[in-house]
Structure 1
Amino acid sequence: MLSARLRLALAVLVACSLAALAGVWLASESQSPAPAVGASGFAGAVRPPGLPAPPIESLRDADGRRVDAAALRGTPVVYTFVYSTCEDTCPTQVQTIRGALDRLGRDVPVLAVSVDPRGDTPARAQRFINEQHMTGRMRFLLGSRRDLERVWSGFAIRPQEGRLDHSAYVVLVDGEGRQRVGWPSSLLTPEGLEHDLRVLLAS
């Protein structure tokens, strides 16, 4: 039989081993993969040089307020294109944006542009914002199809058309109102979006 001293030593050894393994696991869980950065310095796809963001003054948010374009100058703006009854790509995009803002440690303007003017109502838009826990952090922009088409065209976005899915895309606009980086939903990550926002904030 093992002596009391030997049993104690073995118990201490096992406890230390378990603690070390737990530390390694926690460290690996807390480390996020570094985004792949291209020669441009951005992790996302660079948009054509000097391409302006289309005017959005004709649109209103879920509270009926127009967007003050002048107030957006001097800061990056995140544009995403969603519809309020979407159950897959839209919530995923918005949660990724939310994660990027959390990692950034500060908010920047986030504008969600409707791709379904018939189905998106102010009440549905507000419910979508609430469900995504983005109240006060994102504005859901609504308008007539004619007004929205100008915005879709300016960002090269296909709207939701029956079973034909809309363009699941996120675009970053710089403080001078120029489109700088685009992210398809399939490649969008909180780490990459955070990185590109930091680049724009520093420029």
Structure 2
Amino acid sequence: MFNKKVGIILLLALAAGLGLLAAQKFFGPATPVQAWPATRAVTLFPQARPLPAFSLRQSDGTQLADGELKGHWTLVFLGFTFCPDVCPTTLAELAQAQKPWQAMPESIRPRVLFVSVDPDRDTPAKIGEYAHAFHPDTLAATADLPTLENFAKSLGFVFMKVPGKHFDENPDDYSMDHSSNIAVLDPQGRMVGMIRPPFKPADIAADLQALTETTAK
């Protein structure tokens, strides 16, 4: 009886170990988030989430790869230029948050990345013009649909095309439903938190400044 119990315990331990290895292989290694300062707008995760490799096309035609987001805290927001309300409102609020950051050195200044999920209508040049109308420092990018879907999924975001009443006659008669949260990436390019609406620019500005000062030490 004793040997049988020992065997069962060993099998359970082996199964648990194999399960942990499988989870690490699928999700990537768990990366603890260091002790950040208290935040008001940003909800920080217990563990950082490394993002899979990606490549987006920026408004100036250059590629934005995952490694290029390193060195700065970055806020990522999905949207599209035909958005009637949520996108312009959010970008306007983020522009208010960006103003206090102008006093920070450019080398560590937090950044805002606007990613269009409407590649059929939003060219890189168009999204750049749109985003820069709110703040000149805002990064703007897009990609083909499969790349955008993978990028959004890595952030825990979703989006989908919603045809309008006259879509059959006019292929441009549609809208895009998309997540309205803002992803927070640390200077290593890992997703470490989220900002959920309603957005308070002053709190966002203060949180990102405090986080930047913590990692810059």
Match of 2:75, SS? strand
Instruction: Give how far 1:181 is off.
Output: 2.1
Partner Cα distance (1:93, 1:55) in 2: 26
Q: How does 1:18-37 map to 2 (within 5 A)?
A: none
Show CA shifts across 1:152-183 (max 9, x none).
Answer: 00011111421562111211111122212211
Instruction: Give how far 1:187 is off.
Output: 2.1
Query: Is the CA contact 2:58–2:141 (under 8 Å) kept in the aligned structure 1?
Result: yes
Which residue pairs with 1:42 in the alignment? 39
Partner Cα distance (2:52, 2:89) in 1: 25
Instruction: Give how far 1:146 is off.
Output: 0.8
The yes-or-no answer on 1:169 pairing with 2:184 is no
Q: Which runs of 5+ in 1 are unaligned?
A: 1-38
Cα 1:69–1:154, aligned 2, differ >3 Å: closer, same or farther? closer
Letter in 2 for 1:190: P
Match of 2:57, SS? coil
Match of 1:79, SS? strand
Which residue pairs with 1:98 in the alignment? 95
Which residue pairs with 1:151 in the alignment? 151
Q: Which runs of 5+ in 2 are unaligned?
A: 1-35, 163-174
Q: 2:63 aligns with which of 66, 70, 78?
A: 66
Show CA shifts across 1:42-75 (max 9, x none).
Answer: 222223512123433x211112111254343232
Instruction: Give how far 1:87 is off.
Output: 2.3
Partner Cα distance (1:195, 1:157) in 2: 25
Match of 2:78, SS? strand
Which residue pairs with 2:167 in the alignment? none
Which residue pairs with 1:76 in the alignment? 73
Query: Is the CA contact 1:116–1:159 (under 8 Å) kept in the aligned structure 2?
Result: no
Partner Cα distance (1:190, 1:54) in 2: 29
Partner Cα distance (1:78, 1:138) in 2: 10
**Identity score, percent:** 24
Which residue pairs with 1:53 in the alignment? 51
Match of 2:48, SS? coil
What TM-score, normalized to structure 1?
Answer: 0.70
Match of 2:178, SS? coil
Whichever structure has more strand as a proportion of its residues is 2
